[in-house]
Structure 1
Amino acid sequence: WLEDRLRWWESIGVPRHRIKVYDVPKADLAHYSKRTFDLMYDYPTLGYEEVEGIANRTDFDLGSHSRDQESLGLTARVMPNRDSTARLTYFDPETKRHVVPFVVEPSAGVGRCFLAVLSEAYDEEMVKVPAPERLASVADALQAFLKSVGRSEKIAPERRDAILEHGEQIAARLPESMPQIEALLGLPGADQIELGKKLRGQAQPLIDESFRTVLRLRPHLAPIKVAVFPLKRNHDGLVETARGIRRSLQSGGRMRTVYDDTGAIGKLYRRQDEIGTPFCVTVDFQTLEDGTVTVRERDSMQQERVPVAELQSYLAEKVA
């Protein structure tokens, strides 16, 4: 059971190395449990917290609700049940004995599971190396901000220390850490520093150009499987073809598909990356000529030309 549950967590995107298995000491076991494992997930900000318990409840549950308890050879201590009319057993034809099955209870909280999946899936990926001179400007603005924080008497000491610690960590890991600047400026007390506005003004345009936010959900978990775009929203042929593809993909009921033409293709890709859509389909002028579309995969950003006639089966296999 333990191995099965660990495999299940891996199947939804939570790697095994992020989970610590805690073998609950005998003295701490519930009265019905012979052995219990707690699965502890290493949350990025919370540290290890329990996400699931796996308890061997022995024959306590079925034995408690069964009649003829005295003759069943129960291993668990149960309260007498004089009202039951059913013998909750399996009859073994070889031994000619009634056996009360053990119950193994995996118990996982939906909220904690959801947070673990999102924690693993969320990523801020650098897709373009910032120009050295622009990166230097951000680094200078960050240092000026931190110096101002260090001199400020408006901020409580513990808040000032937290800002400085986080800021120094960001400074040590530039440019990869640039997306964390917004979180730094959101820390309590940071809004008291006027130079924070300059830092945001220097950093945000470069972050927008150099990074993308991507939710790397497993395809079978993604709420939207496919997004379809026309290369130009004011071209009737492209729009009609794109809408037709969306209807075709959606009609099978297996792939929730959306249509979007409210921006440039690059911005539409980024929008779908942020919500975890695994595939984007772009209808362009080549589509009108040869019946193929561009399919872009979320994680690798690689693109492939696929015939429209084969698109349904191509995507269905990948999002299953």
Structure 2
Amino acid sequence: GHEETFSDPLVDCRECKRRFRADTLLEESLNRAAEQVMADLLPVFQRFGEELGAFIAELERRERERGRTYPNRWTLVTEALQSPEIQEQLRHRCREFSEWLSRPIPGVNSGPMRAWVEAWEQIAPRFRERLDAIRAIEASFGRTYESDAQLLQRAIVAYPAWTTEVVRASWNELFVFLNERKALRCPHCGAVGSFTPPRRFNLMFRTFMGPVEDEASLVYLRPETAQGIFVNFKNVLTTARRKLPFGIAQIGKAFRNEITPGQFLFRVREFEQMEIEYFVRPGEDERWFEHWVEERYNWYLRLGIRAENLRLREQSPEELAHYSKRTVDIEYRFPMGWGEIEGIANRTDYDLRAHSKSDPGNEHSTDDLTVFDQTTSSHFTPYVIEPSAGVDRIFLALLCDAYHEEIVRGEKRVVLRLHRDLAPIKVAVFPLLRNRDELVEIARRIAADLRRVVPGRVVYDDTASIGRLYRRQDEVGTPYCVTVDVQTLSDKQVTVRDRDTMEQVRLPIERLPEYFAEQFRPEASLVG
């Protein structure tokens, strides 16, 4: 199933040699064509409504003069539309609508619009029948089919003369059909009908296990990390003695044969993924879904990412994966635009049922992944709420959000305003003069003492002037710098400089461990 799920249909433009996803290209083209048709129809329908309203008002006035009244306006409208005499007058008065029904279809050489109306009346019931049949087998696939049906409906709206051919086609056949009839345009060079037939592009990396490269030894690098959790669900449930709700979290490598890797770390073929599979009772899934959306959004705020650069985006029914009941993406505003850094999905019981022998369709499964409810003396399959995030994308978002350039005393200052818990270096210690041995000795001793209390890296540096040392640490995001100067020899105090404000305070050397322990205490950090 994964090989089919993790593959994309691709086409190439023969003119500009660019590559596109066929399904995305088809959907965008049909949307534009259908919108053009509806834009053409809207003024006609509006004028038709205005003329119909004026005609009914005139009819009501005439009937009132005859002493006849109607119990309500709907009765009047119904009678007006059913009367042969009035229908004839309506057809005469609404000439524009009648003429429109006989006009050629936009973008098609022949065939009146009336053909679209008649064809749609015949075709529409078939969608409902086929959709109901699919839903009876599997609700999640029913939603996928419904998306395909909507795609076909847009094709019928856009190209009604081809309704008979369109309604019988799969989306792949539909792409070829419309491309051959010059109905698809390349978004890059504008060429029409220039695409190659769609080909499946496998997003999973193939390799072979063992010395012989044959079908029996064919394996794939995992495209996601989630499935291992579902397979081991029952082991964790029994050995850890957990009760619902509980979660299993993991972080690890995943691999995808991306078509167009790029934008630095945003789209790569090997990436780090972290996921939580949170198991809940059916019926409680919506409440826990909302909980995890809020919790994960707030986690990014606690990382220091600015709220104006974050947003929650609910996926439309057409976007949802076949296993998802509901999905919300957390997106960050990168320099190249908004991009997803995490998705929270309500996967229902799809995955556990797919791996459980309790499901009749899993003839090769050996484990029963249901849970026994002692209060009702029955078994049930838990629902799963899944927060899934790309570590590389989060790292890129943190860098983008923390990077600042500013002018200080006429010079450009680059500073990386990372949250103190994320900063790779927590404190840097400098002697003001590296040729004064007594200053160097004090600075090295301070650095050694701080390493015992600061939860992170403390560095000593004397390889440049004090101004250049400050700029170096600003650029890597070091929150605090400690400078030992000549005055330290007499008052036993040092200068502590804050990265963000550049404010400097004098503190006694013996107070430094207490001061930095307070600055980096857990209550003030991400774990609080």
Measured against the shorter chain, the TM-score band is: 0.5 to 0.7
Q: Is the 8 A contact 1:38 1:53 kept in 2?
A: yes
Quick check: 1:287–1:293 contact (8 Å CA) kept in 2?
A: yes
Given that 1:228 and 1:260 are in contact with CA atoms closer than 8 Å, whether structure 2 keeps it comes out as yes
Separation in 2 of the partners of 1:91 and 1:317? 48
Give the structure-1-normalised TM-score: 0.67
Tell me which residue corresponds to 1:124.
405
Question: Which amino acid counterpart does residue 305 of structure 2 have in structure 1?
Answer: V
Task: Name the residue aligned to 2:338.
Answer: 48
Structure number with greater CO (CA < 8 Å, separation at least 6) is 1
The answer to whether the aligner puts 1:318 opposite 2:519 as a matched pair is yes
Which structure 2 residues correspond to residues 193-204 of structure 1 after superposition, within 5 A? none
Q: Which residue of 1 aligns with 2:14?
A: none
Q: Note if 1:63 corresponds to 2:63.
A: no
Partner of residue 387, structure 2: 106
1:23 alignment partner in structure 2 = 314
Q: Does 1:88 align with 2:369?
A: yes
- Quick one: which amino acid aligns to residue 12 of structure 1? L
SS of the residue corresponding to residue 61 of structure 1 reads: helix
Matches for 1:79-228 after TM superposition, within 5 Å: 80-128=361-409, 209-228=410-429
**C-alpha distance in 2, partners of 1:87/1:26?**
31
Aligned equivalents of 1:318, 1:88: Cα separation in 2: 47
Return closer, same or farther for 1:84/1:301 CA change in 2, 3 Å cut-off.
Answer: same
After superposition, the Cα gap between the structure-2 partners of 1:241 and 1:306, relative to the gap in structure 1 and judged at 3 Å, is: same
How much has 1:109 moved relative to structure 2? 1.8
Q: Distance in 2 between matches of 1:124 and 1:54?
A: 34
1:63-83 CA distance string (max 9 Å, x none): 22223236xxxxxxxxx2234
CA-CA distance at 1:253 after TM superposition: 6.9
Amino acid across the alignment from 1:5: R
How far 1:85 sits from its partner (Å)? 3.9
Per-residue CA deviations over 1:43-92 (Å, capped at 9, x if unaligned) read: 12x0112222211111112222223236xxxxxxxxx2234443323433
- Note closer, same or farther for the CA distance 1:97–1:293 as it changes in structure 2 (3 Å cut): farther
Using the alignment, how far apart are the partners of 2:495 and 2:514 within structure 1?
15
1:295 lines up with 2:496 in the alignment: yes
Q: Partners in 1 of 2:350 and 2:392 — Cα distance?
A: 28
Amino acid of the structure 1 residue aligned with 2:300: W
Cα distance in 2 for residues equivalent to 1:115 and 1:317: 29
In the superposition, relative to structure 1, how do residues 82 and 312 fare at CA in structure 2: closer, same or farther (>3 Å)? farther
CA contact (8 A) 1:6 1:16 kept: no
SS at the partner of 1:299? coil
How far the C-alpha of 1:242 sits from its partner, in A, is 0.3
User: Once the two structures are superposed, what CA deviation does each residue of 1:226-273 show, in whole Å capped at 9, x if it has no partner?
Assistant: 100011111111100101111122245722011111222222111110
Give, as a single letter, the amino acid of the residue that structure 2 aligns with 1:220.
Answer: D
Aligned residues between the structures: 230
Partner of 2:436: 235
> In structure 2, what is the Cα distance between the partners aligned to 1:97 and 1:266?
71
Provide, for residues 121-160 of structure 1, a one-character-per-residue CA deviation record: whole Å limited to 9, x for no partner. Answer: 01111223xxxxxxxxxxxxxxxxxxxxxxxxxxxxxxxx
Residue in structure 2 matched with residue 266 of structure 1 by the alignment: 467
> Greater Rg, structure 1 or structure 2?
2
1:5 corresponds to which of 293, 296, 304 = 296
Structure 1 alignment gaps of length 5 or more: 71-79, 129-208
> How far apart, CA to CA, are the structure 2 residues paired with 1:5 and 1:110?
14
Note the C-alpha offset of 1:104.
1.7
Partner of 2:376: helix, strand, or coil?
Answer: coil
8 Å contact from structure 1 (residues 54, 106) kept in 2: yes
Which of the residues 481, 506, 512 maps onto 1:305? 506
Q: Please state how far the C-alpha of 1:93 moved relative to its aligned partner.
A: 3.0
Distance 1:281 1:240 in 2: 14
Question: Which amino acid letter does the alignment assign opposite residue 239 of structure 1?
Answer: V
In 1: Cα distance, 2:491 partner to 2:354 partner: 69
The Cα shift of 1:312 comes to 2.1
TM-score using structure 2 length: 0.41
SS in 2 for 1:38: strand
d(CA) in 1 for partners of 2:324 and 2:306? 27
Offset, 1:307:
2.5
Q: Which amino acid aligns with 1:48?
A: W
Q: d(CA) in 2 for partners of 1:303 and 1:296?
A: 4
Distance change in 2, residues 1:263/1:104 (3 Å): same
Paired letter, 2:337: G
* More deviation, 13-22/223-232: 13-22
Out of 226-235 and 91-100, give the one that drifted further.
Answer: 91-100
Contact 2:454 2:516 in 1 (8 A): no
